[in-house]
Structures are given as C-alpha cells and as structure tokens.
Amino acid sequence: MTILPTSPRKLITLGLTSLTVMTAAATAQPQGAVEEMVVIGARDSHTVRTDDVMVAPADTAELLKKMPGANVNRNGELTGVAQYRGMHGDRINVVINGAHVSSGGPNAMDAPLHYAPVAALESLTISRGITPVSAGQETIGGHMEAITYSGDFGDSNDFEWGGRTYFGAQSVNQGLVGSVFLSLANRNHLFRGFVMTEQADDSDFGNGTIRPSEYERNRYDLGYSFRSGDHEFSVDFTKNDTGHAGTAALPMDIQLVDSDLIRGRYVWDSPDLKITAEVSMNDIGHWMTNYHLRTPPADISRYRHAYTASDNSGFSIKAERQVANGSWQVGIDGHYSNHIALIQNPNSRFFFIDNFKDSERNVTGVFLERNISLGDISGLDVGVRFNQVRTDSARVDANLNPMNLAAGGPFMMNMMANNIANLFNAQDLSKTDNNTDWFARFSIDAGYDVTWYAGAARKSRSPSYQERYLWLPAESTGGLADGKTYVGNPDLTPEVAHEIELGFDLEKGRLTFYPRAFIKQVDDFIQGTPSTIALTNNFARMMANMGMGTPIPLVFSNVEARYTGFDMESGFALSDRFELRAVASMVRGERRDIDDNLYRIAPDNLIVAVDYQGNNWSGSLESVSYARQDDVSLTNLEEATPGYTIVNLSTSFRPTARTEIGLGVNNLLNKTYRDHLGAYNRAVNPDLAMRERLPGLGRSIYGRFMMYF
C-alpha cells in the first residue's frame, strides 16, 4: 500500500524527487535512443481562434456556445460563467495563459474568462470529455484555456517590429472596442506591449432594453521573452481595469475591478525531456453597489456598497519524458487564494457586514501520467493525481444597528446576526481535504477511417470558500443568480464524480464526425437545500418581511447527483468552397436522492451552418436552435423556458494578406426569446418585471477590422 503525503511540504518533496529522477533517467539515455512512433488518440479538444471566427460580444465566454457540450451562464455583458456538460462555475478549471485566476468578487462578476477579452484573445480551447490529470488540479467539470495574443520570435539576429490592430463595433449596445499589440523581436528576444479600451451602453432585446448592462474596460500588457537553444523564458504583466458594468441578474453592479496579474514561465525542451515551470500572482480589488447604475432603493437604509478582494498565487512544475512506447509526465502544482468581502451602507457610517473575512483556499497537488502506444492501432492514456485542499476563515462580525436603537427591527436583526456570527466563530473552520483523482482513455483504430474512444475517470472537488464560509443569509454564491439567499456549511465534504464516456472519430473523405456520449455520477454533490437552522431562518424571515431576501434560505449541503448526455461536432465538404457544419449538445442533470433536476442546465441545442471559403473572402450562414427546457430545479424555484431559433450571418474580406474587414448580423430576424442560462432580472426596469427571466439580445449588426504588421 502506498501512503500519500498529507502536507504541502511532503507533496513538494515527492514532486521534486520525481522530477529529479525523471531528469536523471532522461539525461542518462543516449541520444537517439527514443524511436519515432505512431500514437493512436481521439479528438480530445476543440479550439476557436479569433483570427478565424467572427466575434461580436466583448465577453469571451460567449464563444463557448460554438463548442460541443459547452455554454455560458450570462449574469451580465462581461460576467459570463463557463458551463460544460451541465457543470458550471468553480467545477470547471479555467486558466488564462496557463495561470488560474480566482474571481475578485464572491458572485463571480469577474469570472475567469473576464481576464481574456475578445480583443486580446488568440484562442479558446476546451478539453472534450475525460480531462487528463495533468490539465489542472480540480477538473471535475472540465478544463478550458484562453490564450491571449503574445507575438512571435524573429528568424534572424536583426530586430523587427510586428503587431496587430483590432477595432470592433456592434449595434445592440453601441459597443466599441479598440486594441493595439506591438512587438520588437529577433531570434532570441521578444519585447511586447498591448493596450485595449472598450465600452458600451445598455443592450437591447426585441422590444426593450436590459438595464443596467452597460460596461467599460481597459487593459494594458507588457511582456518579455528570451529564447536560446532548448531554453525559453518569459515574464508578463497585465493590468485589467473594468469600470462601470451592469449585472442585471445579480443584486449589485460593478463599480470597479482593479486587477494586476503577473506570470512567469520557463521551458527546457530537449529531444527527450521537456520541463515547464510556471508561476503567477494575481491581486484583484473589486467595488460594487446597488445604486450607482440601477435605480437605487427607495429606503436609504437599503443602500449597499461592497468592497471585495482576492489575492492569489500559483505555480506548476511539469516534466515530460519521451520513451520508446510513449511518454511519462509528472508534475507538482499549487494555487493559494485569500478572499475578503465587506458590505457597507454609504448612508450609515457604522453599518457593516463581514461577508467573508480572510477566507483561504489553498490547493497543492502532484500527478503522474502515462501515454502508451499499445501497438499499431491502439493507445492508452492513464494518470493519477493527489490534491490536498486546505480552507480556513477568520472570525466574522456585523453591525446592522448602527444607530444603536434600543428596540425595533434593526435591534432585533443585529442581535440575531451577532448570535449567528458567534455560532459560526465557535466552529472549527480550518478544514483539510485529501482528494485522489484518476483517469484512463483508450483509443483504437478500427479501420474504415474510424477511431473508437472510451474513457473513465474519478474526479473530485472540495467546497468553494462561499460554500463553506457564507455565514449570514446572502446571495454571494459564485454567480448562481437564482435570487435565493444561501448560508454556507463548514462541514461539507468534497464532491466525487465517476464518469464514463464513449465515442468515435470518423474522418472519411469529405465527412468528419466526432460524437460523444457520457454519464457522470456525483457523490456528495454540493447543492442548496432548504435550511432547518432555526436562528438563520428567523433572521431570513425578518429580512423578507422588510422586503429583502427570501423567507427560507438554502444551506449548501451534500446530496447525490447524475449528469447524462451527448454532444458532437461534424462537418461535410459540399464542394471545394462550401462546407456544412454542425454542433449539437444535450445534457440532463438530476438529483439522485430526491425527484428533482439540477439548476441552470443548458437546454438541448443545435448549430447548423453553411460556410464559404474563397480566395480572399469567406462567409457563414448559421442557424442556432435551443429546445424547450422544462427539466428545471424545484428546489431553486427555476422557471421553464420555451424553445427558439435564431439566425446569424457573417462575412469577412481580406483585401491583403495582412488585413481583414468583417461584417455580421446576430439574431438577423430580431427574435425575442428567453435565454434559459440568463437568470432573472434583479433591477428596476420598465421593460422587465422584477425577477422576470432575462431575454436574449436583439438584432445586432457588428463589424471588425484587423491589420497585422
């Protein structure tokens, strides 16, 4: 029996020892000892490149709708929460240029893809299906990576200028974006800089306007890379500042997100061994209010201003060694975050709530992965990972009676809040989870241009800091946006999912077809259930009687769940110029412990498009259909939505090899529809009732201009 280590120091020791042994073995092997081989594998990723795809929205998360199994929970124009095969939020491992970014706010207003704007984006990639353990620490819901534009080294010792300009506009919100990337490079050095600004007014739908949905964002990047022989080093600094931005599905709007992101990377890529070391640090300050963009509350005692912050750092060291029948990969990684959230009333100086106070979530992991060529027609990928997750919180407090009234509502609410805080503070808040993941993927070339694929995995996820340490009933839920108030549960246990996936890749002549079917059973799934805590419920009822919150909050609990579904991507070349393209996604999420469905699951959807590719221009006519979604969560009081179809049209013209002019129309027929993943309106709006399902956007004419130099 192998005893896994239970402290970060032991994990680091094990990882570094494994790396040392692998390096020694590789360097001791004579040059040329590794023979060339054929590795049989299935299509395990899907990538969208902004150079090749016309993009209208500012939120990179919208690109997920073009990918099999993927979608986005829309809480605002810059607040898209990634979804994959029904799972969303923290269950999906999202990285930006290899670095994990923890949102600055407890409601994911700045979800990770917020830090890779479309105007800066080079590509967005999802891992299809079973995710290798090397992809990230907690990949129970999948893995996605956004790569921003960074430039290339030159081919000689002479320095040359290069770059890209990107300008875009769309009519649905009078949105404008402009960016310039510049580089100065030779074969060894690459200096780069980037600047971007974008802004928009409120967005229109078929017969009204979503208020507030305006936004503004600025971004600045500086970076340097050095390359010599087998070695490459890079360091990058990014300042991403988001100003006023509406989030109508949430109880507050963004006033400012001030973020600094630093990352460094070193790669040694020799013929037999590749070592990659990465380090990142993110410092995010986030201000929000319920009065500066939306209609403020009638009662000044209900004004709210919140300051939240996230300080997080991470590292990873990976080594990949090529051997005669495949490869070995071993690594160690860590991600360490601290979160605070302070709620205040600008009209009441002494009012405050420690929504979260020094909530820590630290993850350290090690993994081992093997890629094996089993013969001329089959291959196997296997891996195992161990993660240690440590969470903790400082003592919390609140003052809901800043005027020190002797009796009445504020006095009673403050007394109950203090009692709840005392009960929370008295608990053992320091928790340690030791989680083990594994995966296996088998591929076989069955002939007739078909490769069959089968995968299985065990994946785990420890609770988020919101799920464990939200002590007073509130909507700080990582962007669930169901309008319910929640409380956390420090005694939650980690989720454990067992997944099986089957499919095949067909590439025959003019036809490509990549279907996948899956089932994922999740034990100890974390879901809100009706609270039975008398003190918490009494506090929530008093809030509801005053017009705030809901009378019975939900408490994060461990339940049983299951996801089943099917997704595919395919293409058929109608001629040398025309191609028929289709992407379909179907998923069902349900509780196993009671008769209910899981919340905010994407409806069945289908994209069918005809693409044209000419010598210097291209075009696409696209139909996007969503089925009715009536498999809704009764626990979350989720409403069903009808099905709909919209039509999109786009074209691009390349007058030279270095320039492109693109035009498009989204929702060509100006269809009014309800986006099931758009949540509910939380702002006073003459065009939308309070808590009405938010609509999809109306017709939008958009364009972009790109030039490379």
Grouping H, G, I as helix, E, B as strand and the rest as coil, residue 455 is: strand
Query: Using CA atoms, how far apart are residues 163 and 182, in angstroms rounded to an integer?
Result: 4
Q: Which two tokens stand for residue 249?
A: 């599905």
pLDDT computed for residue 408 by the predictor = 61
Residue 1 belongs to a domain: no
Residue by residue, DSSP assigns 367-423 as: EEEEEEE-SSSEEEEEEEEEEEEEEE-----EES-TT--SSSHHHHHHHHHHHHHHH
Of 304, 247, 210, 685, nearest to 481 by C-alpha is 247
577: left (phi over 0), alpha (psi -120 to 50) or beta: alpha
Query: Using CA atoms, how far apart are residues 64 and 58, in angstroms rounded to an integer?
Result: 13
pLDDT computed for residue 405 by the predictor = 66
Query: Which residue stretches of 317-428 are H helix?
Result: 409-425
Query: Using CA atoms, how far apart are residues 432 and 416, in angstroms rounded to an integer?
Result: 30
pLDDT computed for residue 412 by the predictor = 87
Residue 69 belongs to a domain: yes
Q: What is the mean pLDDT of residues 349-361?
A: 96
* Percent of the chain whose predicted confidence (pLDDT) is above 70: 93
Residue 97 belongs to a domain: yes
What residues contact 370, with CB distance under 8 A and at least 6 apart? 326, 327, 328, 329, 380, 381, 382, 383
- Residue 29 pLDDT > 60: no
pLDDT computed for residue 557 by the predictor = 98
CA distances from 561 to 160, 593, 595, 641 (A): 56, 7, 11, 22
Grouping H, G, I as helix, E, B as strand and the rest as coil, residue 24 is: helix
Q: Which two tokens stand for residue 558?
A: 């461990």
Grouping H, G, I as helix, E, B as strand and the rest as coil, residue 94 is: strand
What does the angle CA 316 – CA 318 – CA 320 come to, to the nearest 5 degrees?
Answer: 170
Q: What is the mean pLDDT of residues 463-468?
A: 98
- As a whole number, the mean pLDDT across the chain is 92
- Helix pair angle (409-425, 534-545), 10° resolution: 150
Strands 554-573 and 486-487 turn out to be parallel
Q: Assign residue 343 the CATH number of its domain.
A: 2.40.170.20
pLDDT computed for residue 407 by the predictor = 60
pLDDT band at 31 (very low <50, low <70, confident <90, very high): very low
Question: Which residue's entry shows tokens 């040398």?
Answer: 576
Give pTM, 2 decimals. 0.93
Residue 86 belongs to a domain: yes
Of 699, 648, 697, nearest to 209 by C-alpha is 697
pLDDT band at 401 (very low <50, low <70, confident <90, very high): confident
- Residue 89 pLDDT > 80: yes
Asked if 306 and 344 touch (Cβ cutoff 8 Å), the reply is yes
pLDDT computed for residue 55 by the predictor = 81
- Residue 540 pLDDT > 50: yes
Grouping H, G, I as helix, E, B as strand and the rest as coil, residue 90 is: helix
pLDDT computed for residue 545 by the predictor = 84
Strands 486-487 and 431-447 turn out to be unpaired
What residues contact 689, with CB distance under 8 A and at least 6 apart? 681
Asked if 613 and 577 touch (Cβ cutoff 8 Å), the reply is yes
pLDDT band at 42 (very low <50, low <70, confident <90, very high): confident
Residue 319 belongs to a domain: yes
Q: Which two tokens stand for residue 381?
A: 């990928």
pLDDT, tens digit, for every residue of 233-251? 999 999 999 999 999 999 9
Query: Using CA atoms, how far apart are residues 122 and 49, in angstroms rounded to an integer?
Result: 6
**Domain containing residue 179:** 8-164+173-294+310-708
Query: Using CA atoms, how far apart are residues 290 and 683, in angstroms rounded to an integer?
Result: 9
Residue 511 belongs to a domain: yes
Torsion angle (degrees, nearest 10) of CA 471, 475, 480, 484: 100
Q: What is the mean pLDDT of residues 18-31?
A: 39
What residues contact 3, with CB distance under 8 A and at least 6 apart? none
Grouping H, G, I as helix, E, B as strand and the rest as coil, residue 336 is: strand
pLDDT band at 1 (very low <50, low <70, confident <90, very high): very low
Q: Which two tokens stand for residue 138?
A: 């907690």
CA distances from 419 to 341, 402, 539, 555 (A): 20, 17, 10, 17
CA distances from 700 to 60, 205, 314, 356, 666 (A): 17, 9, 40, 40, 5
Residue 303 belongs to a domain: no
Residue 304 belongs to a domain: no
Question: Which residue's entry shows tokens 């246990």?
Answer: 493
Grouping H, G, I as helix, E, B as strand and the rest as coil, residue 622 is: strand
* Percent of the chain whose predicted confidence (pLDDT) is above 90: 87
pLDDT computed for residue 207 by the predictor = 87
pLDDT computed for residue 23 by the predictor = 39
pLDDT band at 35 (very low <50, low <70, confident <90, very high): very low
16: left (phi over 0), alpha (psi -120 to 50) or beta: alpha
- Residue 14 pLDDT > 70: no
Asked if 84 and 67 touch (Cβ cutoff 8 Å), the reply is no
Q: What is the mean pLDDT of residues 563-582?
A: 97
Of 254, 688, 691, 675, nearest to 481 by C-alpha is 691
Number of domains in the chain: 1
H-run or E-run covering 545: helix 534-545
pLDDT, tens digit, for every residue of 168-201? 999 999 999 999 999 999 999 999 999 999 999 9
- Residue 277 pLDDT > 80: yes
